[in-house]
Structure 1
């Protein structure tokens, strides 16, 4: 995301975290992936005193802004050391640079729609979460910016398809397939109204819905005055991590985990 859409990230993060009000969870370590300046970190600090932040700053945050973000997260963590994860490294290697079973909560805001392999992302979240940990996330669904898909506009605008055009049912199935427990999915449509074509196009680019536009090719079709965002929310638990390993959709249980029933046990 870019600065122009920061307010939207903050709003979606606030709506996500409000949903945690009814969740009973003890959190000592949280991974923000991606992390960005906003009200979500202070909210989490208040909700979970003594929290330590592991931050995956957005790739667009550089220089002094990155230094400010890292300093803020160190302050949020009460000066306790915490990891800084590179999103660029994750995109290259497919690995979140944290040990297995190291965090209690993963918070991901408007990120999954930009991933070509969201199932692998879920696998990595499962790996880094501790037993009983929680993954909570939001992302843009396939009906986002449907106003830009008219035949005339698709011929003139460099529209991009979402890397992961999953609806909430696809995500719910994927969570179960990656052994997450009790997934809860929700969805809402948000309407963004515009008086300026330039601002609409800027937001569409910030949301990665458009490639850069050739300014020498003026549009001959009127742009809409509204963009609809399909925002999908979800959370799921990492439970029973010690019970089985999954490979090729088959669960393998360690022999040491199988109890032997004796005659005295059945008496």
Structure 2
């Protein structure tokens, strides 16, 4: 989403438009798949390559939507001594993670499902439970990303960090004129711009956010394979999508229209914008007042933070 020409202090990033009911259906369907989405393991590997720039060695790692994130092996290799915790957005995904725990033993604790889209933290997790919160390819699914980032902030210990990836607004742009020409509504949501995500991190209480992006082009030989791979990644969560069920005739028209995506090499092409981010949870600042009351726990936290800066 493009920022206004003259930003003001009152400017707040717009929330991405996600159909919350469609999201739950989408997550339940993906929970029945044999494996996590095919793209996520590659994005996890690229995220893990960025971990060496962070000096902190977390004692506890909390993965958000761990099964679909496909990052269990990467994080166990990066932090073999850390306790691995996870939160799943729906019960069906929690069951998949429990089965994965029995098979591969990646997780020390599988927490109950978080209530998404009514974002909340599982009671077993508590606040300040982890030094690293890892969320691979999930933020772009949330109907309320601002609330989700605030939740991640609460789940982190002071000086802990969040690391995440998500889709950016230029993803699958080639499908938009195709759908518009056929009168089919939007092929996907209006995902949040990288700079707006950075603003949201600051608004949620994080410090020193670092945002990065990369663009990749995916190619296919046949339109049937393209549709199959897109379905494995998820579904169309835009509230402006076509409201009815699709027919075989519609599918035939779509397959024919996709032929227009062939490049000079003869292969169908679609682009993805991948957004990466990380930020830290700083020592909380006290509000200035005529009289300030500080709890003993707050004082200890501030003293520890001051000692690290000296």
Q: TM-score range by the shorter chain?
A: 0.7 to 0.9
Q: Is residue 2:131 matched to residue 1:96?
A: no
1:30 matched to which residue of 2?
61
Displacement of 1:189 in angstroms is 0.6
**Structure 1 runs, 4 residues or longer, greater than 3 Å off:** 1-5, 57-67, 151-154, 156-161, 209-213, 251-254
- Residues 1:222 and 2:257 are matched in the alignment: yes
Which ranges in structure 2 are unaligned for 5 or more consecutive residues? Answer: 1-26, 262-267, 300-310
1:222 deviation in Å?
Answer: 2.4
Match of 2:79 among 31, 36, 48: 48
- 2:202 alignment partner in structure 1: 176
Once residues 102 and 38 of structure 1 are traced to their aligned partners in structure 2, the CA distance between those partners, rounded to angstroms, is 20
1:76 to 98, 101, 106: 106
Rounded Cα–Cα distance in structure 2 between residues aligned with 1:37 and 1:72: 16
Structure with more of its chain in strand, by fraction: 1
Q: TM-score normalized by structure 2?
A: 0.69
Structure 1: tracts of 5 or more residues without a match:
245-250, 260-267
Note if 1:199 corresponds to 2:225: yes
- Report the CA distance shift for 1:236/1:190 in structure 2 as closer, same or farther (over 3 A): same
Distance 1:12 1:154 in 2: 32
Change beyond 3 A, Cα 1:238–1:38: closer
Q: What are the superposed Cα offsets for residues 158-198 of structure 1, whole Å, 9 maximum, x if unpaired?
A: 64432x62111001111111120110000001111011212
Give 1:257 shift: 4.4
1:14-163 superposed matches below 5 A: 14-36=45-67, 40-57=71-88, 59=90, 65-72=96-103, 75-77=105-107, 80=108, 82-86=109-113, 89-97=114-122, 98-151=125-178, 155=182, 157=184, 159-162=186-189
Q: Secondary structure of the equivalent of 1:134?
A: strand
